[in-house]
Amino acid sequence: MARIGFLGTGEIASVMVRTIAADGHKITVSQRSEAVSAALAQAHPGLQRADNQAVLDNSDIVVLCLLADRAREVLSGLSFRPDQTVISVMARMSVAELAGLCAPATDICVAIPLPPMPLGGTPLAAFPDNARLREIFGPHAQIHPCRSEQDIAAHFAATGVLLPLLDQIDVAAGWLAGFTGDHAGAASYLAGLIGGYCELLTGKDAPGLSELRAGLGTEGGLNQTLSKALKDAGTHEALKDGLDGLRPGLGLPA
Q: Answer yes or no: do 128 and 166 share one domain.
A: no
Q: Answer yes or no: do 128 and 244 share one domain.
A: no
Residues of the chain with pLDDT under 50: none
Kind plus residue range of the DSSP H or E element containing 29: strand 26-30
Q: Answer yes or no: do 63 and 136 share one domain.
A: yes
Q: Answer yes or no: do 122 and 97 share one domain.
A: yes
CATH of the domain at 28: 3.40.50.720
Q: Answer yes or no: do 20 and 90 share one domain.
A: yes
Q: Answer yes or no: do 46 and 167 share one domain.
A: no
152, part of any domain: no
7, part of any domain: yes
Q: Answer yes or no: do 133 and 18 share one domain.
A: yes
What is the predicted pLDDT for the residue at 41? 82
What is the predicted pLDDT for the residue at 9? 85
Q: Answer yes or no: do 134 and 237 share one domain.
A: no
Q: Answer yes or no: do 195 and 141 share one domain.
A: no
155, part of any domain: no
Chain center to CA of 163: 13
Q: Answer yes or no: do 41 and 135 share one domain.
A: yes
What is the predicted pLDDT for the residue at 130? 98
Q: What's the predicted TM-score (pTM) here? A: 0.91
> Which DSSP category does 6 fall into?
E
Q: What are 31-48's pLDDT values in tens digits?
A: 876 777 788 888 888 899
Residues of the domain holding 186: 160-250
What's the structural domain count of the chain? 2
What is the predicted pLDDT for the residue at 100? 97
Domain boundary among 84, 119, 146: 146
Domain boundary among 146, 181, 216: 146
Which contacts of 130-133 are long-range, i.e. CB under 8 A and separated by 24 or more positions?
A: 130/85, 130/87, 132/2, 132/61, 132/85, 132/87, 132/107, 133/85, 133/87, 133/109
Domain boundary among 99, 123, 146: 146
Residue 91: phi and psi, rounded to 5, are -80, 160
